[in-house]
Structure 1
Amino acid sequence: MANAASGIAVHDDCKLKFLELKAKRTYRFIVFKIEEKSKQVIVEKLGEPTQSYEDFTSSLPADECRYCIYDYDFVTAENCQKSKIFFIAWSPDTARVRSKMIYASSKDRFKRELDGIQVELQATDPTEMGLDVIQGRAN
């Protein structure tokens, strides 16, 4: 079903891959892209569980918007192993205005499709989603 605000649909593969990440830890991250021609959100890239946060951030285009899911593993002050699922709306300042508007108007509908997101970040440059920001938001 397409989003009323932007006319963008969510491909079933997006929900499927997110469920695999959430339930089975099959991926470290997922990068989603809006295909403007087909008017739907698709999976652009899947990160292996062994890949690092740097692998994730380097897979994002410098001048195009994306939605991302990142599964962040960390150890609490009490020495407990935990993980949090981050939703990151990547919208760099250098992206086209039309692209930023489509991503912004489709974001809430897309997020509702992915049940289990624990932390949301909006980033317009890499420093807004640095590992220090992720660590701070996870605790």
Structure 2
Amino acid sequence: MANSASGMAVNDECKLKFLELKTKRNYRFIVFKIEERIQQVTVERVGLPEESYDDFCSSLPAEECRYAVYDFDFVTHENCHKSKIFFIAWSPDSSRVRSKMLYASSKDRFKRELDGIQVELQATDPSEMSFDIIKARAI
């Protein structure tokens, strides 16, 4: 279960919650945290379907790395309702170097565990994942 590159395991709850987001749409977003002490990715927070993109952004810590998935609903130019699941690697400049390296080395392995990611975004600053950027990447 551990990743040979980083030694990181993925808690089963991460996959279960993601599956619920993808298939049942029980959540708007999920924030994942690496528990360094036990070398495992865990679910830190889930956002209810009625929560907004601002709620999602405010759930990411200003000075710590996280992974997150966000289910983005939008309307196409042809007036079709669609949604895309974004994977966001949040790595603020102010976070610890060790933490940034750990999240970077574990990202691809963790992302592979979440089958159904449609768009990937890396952000070091809130402006790099503004609502306009998310919207532009979705369409």
CA drift at 1:66: 0.1
Alignment partner of 1:51: what SS?
Answer: coil
Question: Which residue in 2 is equivalent to 1:18?
Answer: 18
Q: Give the residue type in structure 2 aligned to 1:123.
A: A
What RMSD, in angstroms, separates the aligned Cα atoms of the two structures? Answer: 0.3
| Equivalent residue pairs, number | 139
Deviations 1:44-85 (A, max 9, x none): 000000000000000000000000000000000000000000
Question: Which residue in 1 is equivalent to 2:58?
Answer: 58
Question: Which residue in 1 is equivalent to 2:118?
Answer: 118
Alignment partner of 1:6: what SS?
Answer: coil
Structure 2 unaligned regions, length at least 5: none
Alignment partner of 1:67: what SS?
Answer: strand
Question: Which residue in 2 is equivalent to 1:41?
Answer: 41
Q: TM-score, normalised by structure 1?
A: 1.00
Distance in 2, matches of 1:105 and 1:26, equals: 30
Distance in 2, matches of 1:99 and 1:6, equals: 12
Q: Give the residue type in structure 2 aligned to 1:60.
A: L
Identical residues among aligned pairs (%) = 76
Question: Which residue in 1 is equivalent to 2:132?
Answer: 132
